[in-house]
Structure 1
Amino acid sequence: MSHSTSNTPSTSEVTSTATKAFRGEILHFLADPAKVAEEESYQYFEDGLLLIKNGLVVAVGNATDLLATLPVGLEVTQYDNGLIMPGFIDTHVHYPQTEMIASYGAQLLEWLENYTFPEEKQFSDFEHGKRVAEFFLTQLLDAGTTTALVFGTVHKESVDAFFTIAQQKKLRMICGKVLMNQNCPEDLQDTTESGYTDSKALIEKWHNTDRLQYAITPRFAPTCSTEQLHKAGELLKEYPGVYLHTHLSENKNEIAWVSELFPDSDGYLDVYDKSNLLGRRSIFAHGVHLHDHECQRLSETNSAIAFCPTSNLFLGSGCFNLKQAEEFDVNVGLGTDIGAGTSFSMLTTLNEAYKTQQLRGDKLSPFKSFYLATLGGAVALDLEGTIGNFTKGAEADFIVLDYQATPLMARRIARCKTLTEKLFVLSILGDDRHVKATHIMGEKV
């Protein structure tokens, strides 16, 4: 679809002081490259124009077609030597773990005990939460990530702090208070009842306030009693628009532990299924070791997996089977999973994603990579049409990737003959340095 025709806006749509225009090389996705012919999955404009009004996309297309529709005197912002694309979407990340990133030498369960739980205790303090949230969100924006699905801690204050800062920055963010009432330090436990009432209060206060949305967040099956998981299912019924965000089948010892704790369940996913936690807005982080019947069930319920390659490699959890997810038509987004993940950068995450598939003997095409980082994340979060691409009416969160951010990138890009090559080089050599600009609702931040 290299030079697709654009939807030309009417004059009334663009004659406003709130109109902005951006010109440069533009790419966005319309569909999953694994489901349609690759060239039909995206639109690419070598000299494109993105037109925005009041923070929403009015049109995208070839600059030559759209320039004539602009009101006289409208300034066009030009981005050269780079690629304009929708902002990255991180479908699984822990903001309270920001300052314990790169903690040495443990696999999942030991890592939680030694590093994570002690770190999370500090988040009973609202001011501490705000300070970390400010830094965390700045890191995301610097790396070109404009939306994320975020874990808080067990403390209600951690979520209030996060949403307070995200709201100030006008971001589309999803977050939730962790539910955990067993198998964790006593001073990090809630109860079935307090978890339910705290979550309810947070939903009432924050869900759909400005661009914020709430996720019911059981940490993972081992730290939740059956009663607590059932209560989470009740909350989902009471508030059908909220999300469910938890962990699934990340590590083999964890999976063995789940089967000991829940002997009546037919595997890890079934523990959640029995509490009615699967659905269109349910996102399960990792899914590294899934059985076919579990993928089938995720697909039937329209649930999604957050694929977190830097974390899976760092904790030695394994290599996610993307092909299996595709075969069963499971929605998949990408996650950095800070702090087990090792970078805020979605470009670095794509680099590791490619390698995990290489280790499996599978290929990850650069188009699929960038789809996962943008529209794939939006689909996983049930936000297609709102974020993730430049369809008319979508929120104008977008980034500019810089082809010349480093001497090595500039040299390598100069040798690229096709868009495929350019995208692959960005995904392997790129990091936060290659994000030249991040825009939220059309405003450069």
Structure 2
Amino acid sequence: MTKRIALRGDLLDFTAEPDWGVTESPAVRFRPDHWLLIEDGRIAAVQAEAPGDDWPREDHAGRLILPGFIDTHVHSPQLDVIGSYGSELLDWLNTYTFPAERRYADPELAASGAALFLAALLAHGTTAAVVFPTVHKVSADALFAGAAERGMRLIAGKVLMDRHAPDGLRDDVVQAEADCRELIARWHGRDRLAYAVTVRFAPTSTPAQLAMAGRLCAEDPTLYLQTHVAENRDEVRWVRELFPEARSYLDVYARAGLLHARSVLAHGIWLDDADRAALRESGAQIAHSPSSNLFLGSGLFDWRAAEAAGAAVTLASDVGGGTSLSMLRTMADAYKVQAMAHQRLTAWKALHASTRGAAQALSLGHEIGSLEPGHAADLCVWDWAAGPVAQQRMAVARGLHEKVFAWLTLGDERCLVTSIVNGAVRYQR
């Protein structure tokens, strides 16, 4: 039978990328008190008038309806270490992250951990994500299986680490390649899933493993690549010692064939102009992770410089370095990072980077990120405010940008009413 539902609310999405600093942007598409019609998992229409009696209806008048958020960099096994005290990146990995990830060799734990993580994403309004599981093949299997069960658009892959990691978290080139090929055959292109060749970061992969990862990408240009780059100054110095032949940290990946249009590179704080030009020429994106960068003291990402160079920038929670899966909190932290550089990040730029901009950077703009007929019905319904302080602020807000910026700054997962994935309700408050 045909599955239909019509939702009433204030619809907000984008038709283009907003310019920096512009609060009255023609790229913003706001359709207050409209009906969004969903049929068989896809958006069938958007209209001002109520649909016919043959459409079941949900009236969310006065609420905000947005495309589901897209988190372009997050670690599924790191819920156990979120909010851990007192370390910069390299110490934090050894003290907290690696011990937590080692436990995911257990299939039962991998399955329960994946289920918890995916449910948590949906409870924060994130309907699609680019995810690091662990080095264990079973952790990737569990994550893909859980996403398939929920109908989610998910990009992930077994983590590659064959050096500078503790026992229980190292693989080797031959076995890692075999595991990747098996996972690719099983999951890549199935349902709404895609495989990402997943290099932890350059220091934990030998040149031989990086070369193997590059071969996988070259053999199938529909594969994604995800890794970390230039997050922390000590990390950058370490990479320079390990790869003295490379011009820069980013160049390590370029030399291995890992810099291409489907590369998702987390952080990118300590890049130079040549690196930014390489990003533009390759089509790779930076997954800006402001909450994590602030929490670990890694540095302040220069979004304006990246954009001026033509590099794509998306937004990411980077849990567990980040302290919340909420993309609202991530956007609020992104504003603060840019404010430290005397730049003002608009609500439009932040929202675009978390929806349509992220979808386009992932070559998924035809499917998700906008409230467009024919697109997958991945969307969320939000209250404009939760609690008396936010409600009072919203009551006196003037103009659409001020209202949305107050929602973005003061809101969190308490504002979320429902998350819909591929037309099915996957979270209900």
Is the structural similarity TM-score above 0.5?
yes
Give deviations 1:231-276, integer Å, cap 9, x for gaps.
1010012222111000000000000000000000000000000011
Instruction: Kindly state the Cα deviation for residue 40 of structure 1 after the two structures are TM-superposed.
Output: 2.1
Alignment check: 8 A CA contact 1:98 1:338 kept: yes
Other structure's SS at 1:185 match = coil
Give deviations 1:147-190, integer Å, cap 9, x for gaps.
01000111000001111111111111111100011111132111
Question: With structure 1 as the length reference, what TM-score do the two structures score?
Answer: 0.93
Residue 43 of structure 2 corresponds to: 57
Q: 1:305 aligns with which of 280, 286, 294?
A: 286
**How far, CA to CA, are the matches of 2:40 and 2:326 in structure 1?**
28
| 1:94-105 equivalence runs, <5 A | 94-105=75-86
| 1:190-339 equivalence runs, <5 A | 190-339=171-320
**How far, CA to CA, are the matches of 2:63 and 2:372 in structure 1?**
21
Instruction: Kindly state the Cα deviation for residue 392 of structure 1 after the two structures are TM-superposed.
Output: 2.2
Residue 20 of structure 1 corresponds to: 5
Matched, 1:139 2:125: no
Q: Mind listing any 5+ residue stretches in structure 2 that lack a counterpart?
A: none
**How far, CA to CA, are the matches of 1:52 and 1:169 in structure 2?**
17
Other structure's SS at 1:154 match = coil
Q: 1:342 aligns with which of 318, 323, 328?
A: 323
Query: Match for 1:55: what amino acid?
Result: G
Residue 432 of structure 1 corresponds to: 413
Query: Match for 1:370: what amino acid?
Result: L
Residue 115 of structure 1 corresponds to: 96
Instruction: Kindly state the Cα deviation for residue 75 of structure 1 after the two structures are TM-superposed.
Output: 2.4
Alignment check: 8 A CA contact 2:4 2:56 kept: no
Residue 108 of structure 2 corresponds to: 127
Query: Match for 1:88: what amino acid?
Result: F
Alignment check: 8 A CA contact 1:385 1:391 kept: no
The number of aligned residues is 425
Query: Match for 1:252: what amino acid?
Result: R
Give deviations 1:313-348, integer Å, cap 9, x for gaps.
000001111101110121111110011100010001
Query: Match for 1:295: what amino acid?
Result: R
Instruction: Kindly state the Cα deviation for residue 32 of structure 1 after the two structures are TM-superposed.
Output: 1.0
| 1:138-217 equivalence runs, <5 A | 138-217=119-198
**How far, CA to CA, are the matches of 1:51 and 1:216 in structure 2?**
37
Instruction: Kindly state the Cα deviation for residue 81 of structure 1 after the two structures are TM-superposed.
Output: 2.8
**How far, CA to CA, are the matches of 2:262 and 2:88 in structure 1?**
29
Query: Match for 1:59: what amino acid?
Result: A
CA RMSD for the aligned pairs? 1.4
**How far, CA to CA, are the matches of 1:184 and 1:53 in structure 2?**
48
Instruction: Kindly state the Cα deviation for residue 308 of structure 1 after the two structures are TM-superposed.
Output: 0.4
| 1:37-56 equivalence runs, <5 A | 39-56=25-42
Give deviations 1:198-235, integer Å, cap 9, x for gaps.
11110000111111111100100000111111110100
Identity of aligned residues (%): 43
Alignment check: 8 A CA contact 1:81 1:404 kept: no
Query: Match for 2:40: what amino acid?
Result: N
Query: Match for 2:178: what amino acid?
Result: T
**How far, CA to CA, are the matches of 2:287 and 2:19 in structure 1?**
17
Give deviations 1:55-110, integer Å, cap 9, x for gaps.
1112224x13xx3xx44332221113321010000000000111111111000001
Q: 1:398 aligns with which of 370, 375, 379?
A: 379
Alignment check: 8 A CA contact 2:90 2:235 kept: yes
Other structure's SS at 2:103 match = helix
Other structure's SS at 1:188 match = coil
Question: With structure 2 as the length reference, what TM-score do the two structures score?
Answer: 0.96
Query: Match for 1:43: what amino acid?
Result: R
Residue 421 of structure 1 corresponds to: 402
Residue 63 of structure 2 corresponds to: 82
**How far, CA to CA, are the matches of 2:20 and 2:258 in structure 1?**
27
Alignment check: 8 A CA contact 2:20 2:349 kept: no
